[in-house]
Amino acid sequence: MREPVYLDYNATAPARPEVIAAVTEAMALPGNPSSVHTAGRQARRAVEDARAQVARMVGTIAPNVVFTSGATEANNIALRGWDRPMRVLTSSVEHPSVIEALEAERIPVTSTGLLDLDALRALLEKPNDRQALVSVMLVNNETGVIQPMAEIIALAREYDAVLHCDAVQAAGKLPLDFDESGLDLLSLSGHKIGGPKGIGALVVNPKHHIRSLIHGGGQEKGRRSGTENVAGCVGFGVAAEIALEEIEKQSHYKDLRDRLETAVSKALPQVVVIGDGAERVGTVTCLALPGVGSETQVMAMDLAGIAISAGSACSSGKVKRSQVVSAMGYGDEIAGSSIRVSLGWATTEADIDRFVEAYVAFAGRQVAATG
Ligand code: PMP
């Protein structure tokens, strides 16, 4: 049996060895960070050092970083943690933790997955008693498409809208400068950058008062109650520090991704590369093999020892038509046959070649069986 190949970094990146070491050490800290004794103060120091590391990754100061249980919670606080009703507008390709968080107006995207800026302007033009809260992700989790965030921010400013950005899939891939950007809120997740699962952060511009959705002891300055996940924070901090260096490796990932796309497209001209033509990060490709269901493809690759995913595969093992691909205007044939191959810090050229070999062989068998 050959070594398994892991190409599902957008679902979760394997924890980095440095993270595992730091988390293990932090687990031994006995204190509660809210306790005033020495043990408590040691735990507090660990959390605050981690907060500074996460803040550095996104170009802000530590007090603006609120630790949460992950980006799902961060997105929910960003959209629902207001003391007044907001008029929420989100793109049609957001992660379910935004789409499902509350009822919102949808901003359409173009066929390459870019936000339709004219549609956003038209929506913002409509008079409304409530202040607009616009939520748009920086990098799409399925396609890697990068949204024109500077233009979106400028537009939001024109209409006095609050702007939230889910930057989960952008961290460690694009430089982020929260303080300079003009963003109001930004969500992050530890496990997408080689940190632990179950830890994330909401970065909040201090001019906004965000309320916790979880009530209790008033930790995180009242913005997120519950004893801090000390080891999780520490691991996230270490991962954030390494992620800053990762940004320079983007061209290496792009080379690997292009190697994959070129080889697959050459062997299988019927394959559609979703989001091709838009600016994309180099760590993911979304491929559609018309006529072959996503689930069949994922299972076939799994049998070949290769982990990939279909659609927005964060959900409980369920594979369905990709909402993201549908929102880009593709019909069911493409949206129901799309897969996501995502790479990261431990991916090698050999992993890419293993995928290409297995995928092309599988597609050939499908064609032979149906043709
Ligand atoms: N937003 C995006 C874009 C994501 O890819 C994910 C993870 N699939 C989340 C939010 C949710 O993050 P978490 O797993 O930390 O709740």
Beta-sheet strand order (sheet of 105-107):
65-68, 200-204, 185-189, 162-166, 132-135, 87-91, 105-107
Which residue segments constitute the domains of the chain, with CATH numbers given? 5-13+248-370 (3.90.1150.10), 17-245 (3.40.640.10)
User: Running along the chain, 371 residues long, what does each successive block of 10 average in pLDDT?
Assistant: 92 98 98 98 98 98 98 98 96 97 97 98 96 98 98 97 98 97 98 98 96 92 95 98 93 97 98 97 97 95 97 54 94 95 97 98 87 63
Find the 279 Cα to ligand 1 centroid distance in Å.
21
**Which ligand 1 atom minimizes the distance to the CA of 74?**
16
Query: Measured from the CB, is residue 337 less than 6 Å from ligand 1?
Result: no
Supply the pLDDT for residue 370: 76
Number of neighbouring beta carbons within 10 Å of residue 367 = 14
pLDDT recorded at residue 371 = 63
The residues with which 280 forms a beta bridge, in sequence order, are: 145
Ligand 1 contacts CB of residue 155 (under 6 A): no
Q: How many residues does the chain have?
A: 371
Q: Is residue 72 within 6 Å of ligand 1 at its C-beta?
A: yes
Measuring CA to CA, how many Å separate 194 from each of 191, 280, 326, 351?
5, 20, 30, 18
Which is the closest atom of ligand 1 to the Cα of 10? 5
Q: 166 CB less than 6 Å from ligand 1?
A: yes
Distance 320 CA to ligand 1 centre (A): 18
Q: Is 314 a catalytic residue?
A: yes
pLDDT of 368: 79
164 CA distance to ligand 1 middle (Å): 14
Q: In angstroms, what is the span from residue 362 Cα to ligand 1's centroid?
A: 30
- Residue 169 Cβ inside 6 Å of ligand 1? The answer reads yes
Whether the full predicted model's pTM is greater than 0.85, yes or no, is: yes
Q: Which of 36, 47, 22, 35 is nearest to 230 (CA)?
A: 47
Ligand 1 pocket test target in 10, 12, 189 with most atoms within 8 Å of CB: 189
